[in-house]
Structure 1
């Protein structure tokens, strides 16, 4: 089925075919189970963090407020891509995605990914205030400020994604309709456009590059000041506590930033071969983030123990159903 467009003598395809990941073709059932396991762990891990942060009164600081947002973003980001990958491993029809569905997937992916990028910057700023300006921190990072920063993060991500989505799908797509990727992303979709995509690629590189580089520079500057403040601390306990709250954030930032650089800075190479780094930051990293924050953060581990202990005490107290 094809649909007429505003471009003369051109039509737009009604659907696309996601070619998926090259290394999954020989053993689709095995990779289906693997992705199902990863997705289940991702959802359970991030849901557990959300419940812990929401229920434990000792995790009311801004850092854990932002951690809740990060867990929600990770769960949603994984949901945007993984179920469609799993469907494509089961049947050929599972690899089909309608034009409108491709538009929605691309928008949601960049909305969530860019919001996460901005959130990492906000979390670095929060750590800077907490460690470098501890006396000023309660006033500067109050509840209203936390809500405002979180809201700005989501709103900026929505606008950023809307710009890229509108520019990408304003172009005509008249065939072929095979996307050499496992989800609808800008570089592989642009390859199918029946028009010159030079402007789109320049805007993509400039916009994503400026946003990502700007956020990364702000994060690096924050941690330069944090490192200087930690070195000035007189007690080993203070240095250890500061490091424990920062290393988790630094680890997830590195996991988040490294793979996309391989993809968006070289859009011409973003085909099936680029699937490995994309799988890492779209599927694996959302799963790892929950482990990193629970294993590297003592307060989160204590809160999890309290939550599990409370649940084990409440269950037998209720008794069996009558």
Structure 2
């Protein structure tokens, strides 16, 4: 456990921590972090996502495991949204994004590199499948749904134009299309994208750390409830669902490992994009990132 924590998990977490520390010390400004994050979002994340989706071998995936994971996301999201909106009385869009923090794990930028360090490419197939699910379906769903809720007065045509210009969604669409049609991508182009995409996780985590450093860490009822749902309820739901049926044991282990990861940064990014309060969302990402260090090391 200690070796996994120090050699595989902390090196990835260190970029988030470094950004947080330098932000608190005033060495890197929020504006500089925002510029880094914008470059990573516009250039590096699409370059990371496209080869991933283009090269997927759907026949090697255990669709039953993915279905359990997805079903757990739907069930917990509904519960978390009801709690945030009805019980804790947050505004609808803020409640929507708070609920998102409980089921959208930082798979692409955090769990994926950690799993590769621990298990290698072949052994991390379950993680790759869940990264693909979150990148191609969950991620796209929240980008679109949040835009619809935030801009309910915008026409359908304008909404479609807004979505169509999103570089991550474009990468998802083109990657899926090329995969289905079995279009061979030239090796130099794939090499360029893999080279560029490799910078997405460290730069995004660093920029996120800087931005989050400007938020207070004081716990609240909302922060405690949502963090608990993310770190305890979500892995428990996935574990319970995986007890049904039989599959290779690594699929069960790694699916639960993925569910135990910290809240993804996208809820925070979407909140900033649409002018939603981040005083509750940001600390959830920070606290789950810190507390998940030990649970991830234990599960791995």
TM-score (norm. length: structure 2): 0.32
Q: Which has the higher contact order (CA 8 A, sep 6+)?
A: 2
TM-score (norm. length: structure 1): 0.31
Which of these two proteins has the greater Rg computed from alpha carbons?
Answer: 1
